[in-house]
Amino acid sequence: MKSKPCGLTKRIDRHKNPRPNRFMKPRYNLLNIILLAQPMRDTSLTANAPSTWQCGRYVLDTSRPLVMGILNLTPDSFSDGGQFIEPELAVQRALQMIADGADIIDIGGESTRPNAPKVSCCEELCRILPVIDALMDCGVPISVDTCKPYVMRETLKLGVDIINDIGGFNNPVSIETVADSNCGLCVMHMQGTPQTMQDNPHYDDVVAEVAKFLAQQVQRLSLAGVAHNRVCLDAGFGFGKSLAHNHALMRGLHELQGEYTLPMLVGVSRKRMIGAITGRDAPAERISGSITAALWALNNGAHIVRVHDVRETVDAIRIWDFLNTP
């Protein structure tokens, strides 16, 4: 079974990588990060982490925290929709995040917020290909956030290093598309679709059910020839989960790793769950809450955090590591 091309026949013009000589000023100067009052399990972030994650041209060291910077090339993403839809602005934003300490740049051309409209392969590729092309020599792995096999195939032709699939490679064509490459894979759990996922999500045991799905997908990938060191796992916070479900998953990160103890990715940056806890309605006001959650996750089983605010997150991680160094 093969996916059909969407009619994109003309190669999009290449965009030169602009000089990284102008960097955006951070919106917030977070001088103090107040951690959750609950005691931490370990004083060393990413304790007991798998040693490496194979991601295309790169082998990433997962014994230290990794920060994945979010680059949304969409007009309707929940936090920063429309800000970086122009390729030159998007490239500048990516270079700024790298300068701020991002280990990975995750590029998305389709919003996956609740009730987001679907986007065609053609539209998604038109948004992301010029930016990918310009960033291929930026010095960090390039990840593509997509659930479409055709988009996966076309971006792999450009040499991207990671495919981040919110569908968890539940489509057999997606597995077929990535199996013979050497790219890293982010396997995420989602109940329903972006259009339906928050319509009264229900689980009997959310940690057990998400863990079972992730283990099944790892097994399916393994049967297709995908080595375990190419795979990381994502519980899919906010993707068909209530606040109670998200809370249970955060506290069950170690259980989600399964028998292979694969790297765990946590993405809660600026999400509704942060707003529900803090009372902050605007996504841009959820930065300190997002950083607190990222630190908690890294100290309780996560190895990678996917964030909008790279500089502030990296600063917080550095302070945490320094204060816990004897």
d(CA 111, CA 118): 8
Alpha carbon distances (Å) from 83 to 8, 113, 176: 25, 16, 34
pLDDT of residue 51: 85
Q: Cα separation of 293 and 284, whole Å?
A: 15
Q: How many CB atoms lie within 10 A of CB 62?
A: 20
**Beta 66-72 vs 104-108: how paired, if at all?**
parallel
Contact 46/306 with Cβ under 8 angstroms?
A: no
Using 70 as the pLDDT threshold, list the residues of the chain that sit under it.
Answer: 1-50, 76-82, 113, 116, 192, 194-198
Q: Tell which phi-psi region holds residue 2, choosing left (phi > 0), alpha (psi between -120 and 50) or beta.
A: beta
- Predicted local distance difference test score (pLDDT) of residue 9: 38
Radius of gyration, CA atoms only, the chain: 18
Q: Could you give the 3-state DSSP secondary structure of residue 265?
A: strand
Kindly provide the residue ranges of all beta strands, DSSP E only, lying in 36-113, ordered along the sequence: 52-55, 58-61, 66-72, 104-108
pTM of the model: 0.83
Return the pLDDT at 191: 87
Strands (DSSP E) contained in 125-192 are 142-145, 162-165, 184-188
Q: What is the pLDDT of residue 278?
A: 95
Which pLDDT does position 326 carry in this prediction?
87
Instruction: List active site positions.
Output: 271, 306
Q: Which residue has the tokens 């602009």?
A: 18
Contacts of 50 (CB under 8 A, 6+ apart): 62, 229, 261, 262, 263, 303
- Say how far apart CA 191 and CA 236 lie, in whole Å: 9
**pLDDT digits over 65-95, tens only?**
999 999 999 885 555 556 778 999 999 999 9
